[in-house]
Amino acid sequence: MGHNGALAYVLDFKRISHTWARGVPGVTYCRDIGEIHDALVRLAQEGRRRLALAEDLADDVLEKEPWRVGPRIVILLEEVNATMAQLKRYWAKIRESGDSKMSPAVEALAEILFMGRQVRLHVLLVAQSATAQAVGGPAMRENSSTRILVLLVGTGTGKRAVLRRPGRRRPAVRCRW
């Protein structure tokens, strides 16, 4: 279990990004694209269940007692660019005639990004380049509220913003150590 009973899902198509999380109680680690697909679909179902439960509660209960809809669930989607492409390919392979052409896992992720926060479903997307196309569209990318940039390359400008560790300060007075 995480802090205050929180649960976590690590969706890691690369398979080796967060090995520290394997075997941690309360953490579900999904590596195969089929596992990731199924986890996203289940998480969207959980989100819909929580929304229905919140609707049945009195208007101010969710604000005062958020735990009533369930424990916080943090979803870490590692290497979103590759994973989203793989989810689309996976769905194209397994879908049957009459099924939607859009991957249910991609739709589920969109649903969680758009409506999950209020019912304690939080998504952390990790990407080298989180383009709108890679993430599933501009609206999905914009619903990722926090961005941590290690290297930002401005499109077409050639300018870079680099996050660097601060250098060691030099003493004002030289002294022997």
pLDDT, tens digit (0-9, with 9 covering 90-100), for 72-119: 999 999 888 889 889 999 999 999 998 889 999 999 998 998 888 888
**CA–CA gap between residue 107 and residue 32 (Å, rounded):** 19
Amino acid identity, residue 170? Answer: R
The residue-averaged pLDDT of 123-147 equals 68
The residue-averaged pLDDT of 134-147 equals 63
Instruction: Identify the residue with better confidence: 118 or 7.
Output: 7
Amino acid identity, residue 118? Answer: Q
Is 1's pLDDT higher than 80? no
> According to the model, what pLDDT value does residue 75 have?
93
Q: Which tokens hold the place of 143?
A: 């619903």
> According to the model, what pLDDT value does residue 159 have?
46
Average pLDDT of the chain is: 80
Give exposure, 126-162, as e/b (b: 16+ Cβ within 10 Å). Answer: bbeebeeebbbeeebbebbeeeeeeeeeeeeeeeeee
> According to the model, what pLDDT value does residue 130 have?
65
Beta bridge partners, 1, equal none
Instruction: Identify the residue with better confidence: 27 or 165.
Output: 27
